[in-house]
Amino acid sequence: MSTESTPAAGSDESPNDVELLVESALAWMAQDPDPETHDELAALLRRVGSSLPGAAEELRSRFGSRLAFGTAGLRGELAAGPNRMNRVLVSQAAAGLAAFLLERAHPGTRPSVVIGYDGRKNSRVFAIDTAEIMAGAGVRAVLLPRLLPTPLVAFAVRELEVSAGVMVTASHNPPRDNGYKVYLGDADHGSQIVPPADGEIAAQILRVAGSTTVPELPRSSDYEIAPESLVERYVEATAALSSHRPSTNAPPLSVVYTAMHGVGWETFARVLERAGFPAPALVTEQIEPDPAFPTVAFPNPEEPGALDLSYARARATGAQLIIANDPDADRLAIAVPDDREAEGYRRLSGNEVGQLLGWRAAEAAVAAGGTGSDGLPAALACSIVSSPALGAVARDHGLGFAETLTGFKWVSRTPGLVFGYEEALGYLVNPETVRDKDGISAAIAFLDLADTLAASGRTIADRLDEFAARFGHYASQQISVRVTDLADIDRVMAALRSDPPTEIGGLPVERIDDLSHGEGDVPPSDVLRILLPGARVMVRPSGTEPKLKVYLDAWSTEGTVAERRAHAEATLAALDAGMRARVA
């Protein structure tokens, strides 16, 4: 989702004059149907009128630019103004998307959209606004029956054969954020939007914002509520991913689950029951949806401290596996026992989970004859910043392999796809059902793997060793450099291009690929790929935060598993020190 900003509608560039900003704010207030943001903006204008410190800057932050509609929609902080998430902006987005769908519909046909929402503040409000505006514009609108995980929308787009899907969520962003994610049906098969559709939708949104006020937008309550049977079909299809058969000999796997104050548990519980797994021990403090996210500083399983309550519950129950979804349940985190860690558990990296699920998928694909869900030769796929380990699995099994730009809008479009992932805890394990990352189906697939291993007296740690023995040990790490001035990121990227390194951490640079010109089927992107012996460094600006991100990968295929691990980890440490000296 984009957090970039564009000039506010109705001007060629951002207004700098405070009087113009005040005029824009007053016009915004006049069309705002939300009393909370209306009153909040009125208070800010009083501060501006009193020349209080920071007031004018805050007004400029909200009205000097506009949240850009990007390749996965919108995401930003809840507040008044075109550069924030609110009912005015969402109404304009809904009307613009409706116009886009009507324009591309075949003559004589009525476009359709399914709309879902999670437990964040205003998610249901934004979803109902969208349903009413879509229906008012002549688009058939179907609202999901209650707050549900993001994968349900991706599923519903295909299951209901609608033209598009909208999910109101900010995923794992801070509590004050919300967002608007868009999927397309028909030939896009329920994948997230990619160019040129994003630009065409954005143009329609700006046209609406510049020509019509929110009260003037036609609305209708003539929208549908999706039946509960839709959710049941998702549950049935997801449970079918497991081959679990209750054993009378082996005790059940001991599992802890957290929903991270999100919407995952209700659906996941139903899938577990259908698949025949016993109920896990719950992190009760985080199991119900809560838009305040009171027990975590940042509702992202990747963040330090986010799994502390899960570790405590696991220690109390002697759990063999921790499963965590992010708040909208499209991501999955896994932790396993590890005596070397102070908590007694270690969260697996996204790459470790991805390589294990990818190996599982490759074995299944070969057993099924090597054909993907679309009838083409089976292929594995991951983002260009994810570990090269998945490529090794594909080569070993004689399967196709693709590296795509970051984001499941790209991963999901791989021909013959049987499994795809990206290192940021996103996994696509069931492309026949959902063409997007899905933390619930991935959780069932991983639980099935762990359960199968346990039945033969093995653990996930054993499986990782088996992976290293067969394919090599792959180690990965990430450096994130947060900036206050986005120009700092441009300067670092420019410096790496104009004065490229010849060595990093004592390793010679073999080649640098500048992907700003594109490569093969990969569209142009502001990414540098630096290749070294047994290692790789990827550098790119974050697409969702003011960060420069550096992805480090090292691998070894020589010696014992212990020797491979030691060599790869030593290389990784050298890369980390070398890159921090350049970008930190």
Please identify every residue annotated as catalytic.
171
Distance CA 501, CA 495 (A): 10
Burial 362-379 (b: 16+ CB within 10 A, else e): bebbeeeebebeeeeebb
Q: What do you get for the CA distance between the two ends of the chain, in Å?
A: 25
Query: From the centroid of its chain, how far is CA 100?
Result: 24
Residue 481: HSE in the Cβ half-sphere, 13 Å Cα cutoff = 22
288 to each of 119, 258, 405, 420, 521, how far by Cα in Å? 9, 9, 34, 29, 42
Instruction: Quote the tokens at residue 313.
Output: 């519950």
**Are the beta carbons of 348 and 335 closer than 8 angstroms?**
yes
CA angle 430, 75, 221 (to 5 degrees): 85
Instruction: Quote the tokens at residue 289.
Output: 């949806």
Provide CB contacts within 8 A for 514, sequence distance 6+.
Answer: 497, 528
Q: Which residue in the block uniquely carries the two structure tokens 């934004």?
A: 126
DSSP-assigned letters across all residues of 487-556: HHHHHHHHHHHHS--SEETTEEP-EEEEGGG-BTTBPP-S-EEEEETTEEEEEEE-SSSSEEEEEEEEEE
Q: Which has the closest alpha carbon to 198: 179, 210, 182, 178?
A: 182
Q: Which residue in the block uniquely carries the two structure tokens 């330090």?
A: 304
